[in-house]
Chain A
């Protein structure tokens, strides 16, 4: 395939909503629709829609063996939110538990990824080896979270002959710090590994957004006597605010679905200190066999994603109004 036309078509790949084609007046419905939509529609109905309804219903049931045995109302939700310290513990300060950890991820992971992504994008745009830097930072996006976990398992190893971080700090600390074994460090260490994995994604999106700002606008502002500071906060930041918000939404979805990194690196530990919601859902249902409770955790995940679902639908619908 030649590079030119492929590039052109790729650039046409719409990243946002697009207007659908209206039905021409007088044309009838296509009879072959079922041929195209039948199998995918059936698969989505059986493996997506039906399980969602089943899981919501199961979350209000005792749910032994995943069957509808006894209606328990909101019992699982009440137990999770008030009786399970590994899920939410507000008796300590700061609070603890899986929900709290997800909140930590949502705040620190999201803001750090966007902040560092913006810095790398701006710095890289000023040098000739821009694409090389972006490729280096983007690289972790290609690899499995499992591999990322192994990489950071090495970096965080307490043994200064294995762990890069402890080797660097060794002259100061004189002893290996167990980053992942220390309850007060583990979440920060995990978030740092997560940030390392995602900054490249933010860099690529923000770099494209920065490049799409017409240089005439920047020129005009400078000619009119705007300082670099004013240009940055008055023009550049407002013009990349939409990409930043889309990016933030994506990262928040990542946070709700976060599982592999935690499962491989710490298995939720030490103790239950680094558990997140998706980890609890897996842990309660598959090894734990607590299907009703697991279903309730899955529904909590779904509820957290509902605003984003609504945002996507609204974005799509608003594009249809001509």
Chain B
């Protein structure tokens, strides 16, 4: 809190010794933050390092000792990708995640537009229903949807999981995007209407282009949500050859619990895409997650 006060003082030239004293005054803070950073980084770094260590080394020394030996290999990755079918699982995850992101993004944008700029009977009541649906846990859908999908064969394709992910993503997407669409300038939309634009035209040429950041935040949130999902895949993907990475890795753990080299490489492959998204699109990602806190 004193930091806030200090920043108010106009900066003047400081000597090196003054800077050192200032830094030392904060030593307890730096130490505490160093410990925090260590606790949050060490487990992940451990997994990363382990994934590159030869199997024989993993069994006899800890990953923290590997910097002395300095023997690293890509063998774990090639074994898990080809031998354990993780490449197929990676592709399956993509095949599940991309449609399960694009469809809800498109549909939620349309519905959110209706709820924010169109006028129809029971609009506010229906929106309250959407807000209520936000809290429905996926568990209530398992039994009825399994029964519904069983005769259609959708459980042996990705149809079932696409539809279920989409439906459960819609309330949140509609809620988030409607709240954003409402903040768009009314004059702009009224002017377009007077100029003769159709509702579809206004949606396509004004609402969507002006809302790209919000739509992107929702899209990234949804993509990572589906990418990281295990539960829906357990229930709605029944063909083992179509399992996503989360299920493949859980399977790896329950079958070969002590094959650490495979687990580490597999888990890191699962983390790779979210980490890339996180580092490249951090701003949207954090914003999407914050907004997603209502989900």
Q: Are B124 and A20 in contact (CB under 8 A)?
A: yes
Do the beta carbons of A40 and B64 come within 8 Å of each other? no
Q: How far does the alpha carbon of A143 sit from the alpha carbon of B166 in the complex, in Å?
A: 21
Q: Within the complex, what minimum Cβ distance (angstroms) separates A270 from chain B?
A: 14
0 or 1 for each of A288-316: is its CB under 8 Å from B? (1 = yes):
00010011011101100110110011001
| One of A120, A150, A299, A301 near B253 (C-beta < 8 A) | A150
- Tell me the minimal C-beta distance from A98 to chain B in angstroms: 13
Q: Is the CB of A162 within 8 A of B132?
A: no
Say whether A19 contacts B119, CB under 8 Å.
no
Closest-CB distance, B34 to chain A (whole angstroms): 10
| Count class of interface residues, chain B | 35 or more
Would A313 and B132 count as touching, CB distance under 8 A? yes
Given contacts A10-B287, A30-B199, A48-B136, contact A36 B114 (CB under 8 A): yes
- Is A228 within 8 A of B1, CB to CB? yes
Give residues 246-295 of B contacting A (CB, 8 Å).
246, 249-250, 253-254, 260, 263-264, 266-268, 270-271, 274-275, 277-278, 282-287, 289-291, 293-295
* A141 interface residue (CB < 8 Å to B): yes
The yes or no answer to B139 lying at the interface (CB within 8 A) is: yes
* Contact yes or no, A285 B142, CB < 8 A: yes
Q: Tell me if B94 is interfacial: C-beta within 8 Å of chain A.
A: no
Which residues in window 270-298 of A have CB below 8 A to B?
Answer: 278, 281-282, 285-286, 291, 294-295, 297-298
How far in angstroms is the closest Cβ of chain A from B183?
Answer: 6
Q: How far is the CB of A103 from chain B (nearest CB, A)?
A: 17
A308 / chain B contacts, CB cutoff of 8 Å: 135
Contact of A218 among B5, B32, B110, B290 (CB under 8 A): B5
- For residue B40, CB closer than 8 A to chain A, the reply is yes
Asked if residues A126 and B26 are in contact (CB atoms below 8 Å), the reply is yes
Question: Which residues on the B side are within 8 Å of A299 (C-beta)?
Answer: 140
A sample of 8 inter-chain contacts (CB < 8 A) reads A9-B212, A18-B182, A32-B198, A47-B168, A126-B26, A143-B270, A164-B64, A309-B134
Q: Which of A52-60, A75-83, A86-94, A105-113 contacts B (4 or more CB under 8 A)?
A: A52-60
Closest chain A CB from B175 CB (angstroms): 9
B-chain residues with CB within 8 Å of residue A297 when the two chains form the complex: 139
B274 and A144 form a contact (CB under 8 A): yes
- Tell which of A48, A122, A153, A297 has the most Cβ of chain B within 10 Å: A48
- B140 interface neighbour in A9, A208, A302, Cβ under 8 Å: A302
Contact of B127 (CB < 8 Å), options: A20, A139, A263: A20
How many Å lie between the Cα of A63 and that of B263 in the bound state?
Answer: 39
12 A-B pairs besides A43-B166, A162-B58 with CB distance below 8 A are A7-B283, A29-B120, A29-B121, A30-B114, A40-B107, A51-B144, A55-B143, A66-B143, A144-B246, A263-B230, A297-B139, A312-B134
* A21, A150, A302: the one within 8 Å of B136 (CB): A302
User: Are A164 and B62 closer than 8 Å at their CB atoms?
Assistant: yes
Decide if B33 touches A124 in the complex (CB within 8 Å): yes
State whether the Cβ of A125 lies closer than 8 Å to any Cβ in chain B. yes
Q: B228 near A127 (CB under 8 angstroms)?
A: no
Contacts of B186 in A (CB 8 A): 21
Q: Are A164 and B46 within 8 A (Cβ)?
A: yes
Interchain CB contact under 8 A, A286 and B235: yes
Closest 5 A/B residue pairs (Cβ): A47-B167, A144-B228, A150-B267, A54-B144, A51-B144
A72 within 8 A of B: no
A298 touches B139 (CB 8 A): yes
Cβ-based interface call for B2 (8 A): yes
Are B231 and A260 interface neighbours, CB within 8 A? yes
Q: How far, in Å, is A64 (CB) from chain B's closest CB?
A: 12
Interface of chain A: mostly helix, strand, loop or mixed: helix
Q: Does B234 contact A (CB under 8 A)?
A: yes
Q: Quick check: is B11 within 8 A (CB to CB) of the other chain? A: no
- The complex places the Cα of A73 from the Cα of B260 at a distance, in Å, of 49
**Of all chain B residues, which has the CB nearest A50?**
B144
Closest to A205 in B: B290
Given contacts A143-B271, A205-B290, A313-B132, contact A66 B146 (CB under 8 A): yes
Q: How far is the CA of A309 from the CA of B110 in the complex (A)?
A: 24
Binary contact track A259-271/B, C-beta < 8 Å → 1, others 0: 1100110010000
Determine the chain A residues whose CB is within 8 A of the CB of B119 once the complex forms. Answer: 23, 27-30, 33
Is B208 interfacial (CB 8 A cutoff)? no
Chain B nearest CB from A300 CB (Å) reads 10
Cross-chain contact A36 with B118 (CB below 8 angstroms): yes
| Contact call A146/B118, Cβ cutoff below 8 A | no
Of the listed stretches A130-138, A171-179, A182-190, name the one at the interface; the rest are far from the partner chain: A130-138
Q: Does B15 contact A (CB under 8 A)?
A: no
Check B231 against A259 for contact (C-beta < 8 Å).
yes
Contact present for A125 and B3 (CB under 8 Å): yes
B241 interface hit (Cβ, 8 Å): no
Distance (Å) between the CB of B216 and the closest chain A CB? 9
With A30-B120, A152-B43, A302-B140 known as contacts, the answer to whether A142 contacts B264 (CB < 8 A) is: no
**Given known contacts A36-B114, A41-B111, A51 and B145 CB-to-CB distance under 8 angstroms:** yes
B237 located at the interface, meaning its Cβ lies under 8 Å from any Cβ of chain A in the complex: no
Contact B3 A160 (CB under 8 A): no
A233 to B: closest C-beta gap in Å: 12
Provide the residues of chain A in CB contact with B148, threshold 8 Å.
46
The verdict on B68 contacting chain A, using a C-beta distance below 8 Å, is no
Question: How far is it, in angstroms, between the C-alpha of A127 and the C-alpha of B33 when the chains are bound?
Answer: 9
A321 interface contact, C-beta 8 A? no
Q: Does B153 contact A (CB under 8 A)?
A: no
Establish whether residues B137 and A257, one from each chain, have CB atoms under 8 Å apart when the complex forms: yes
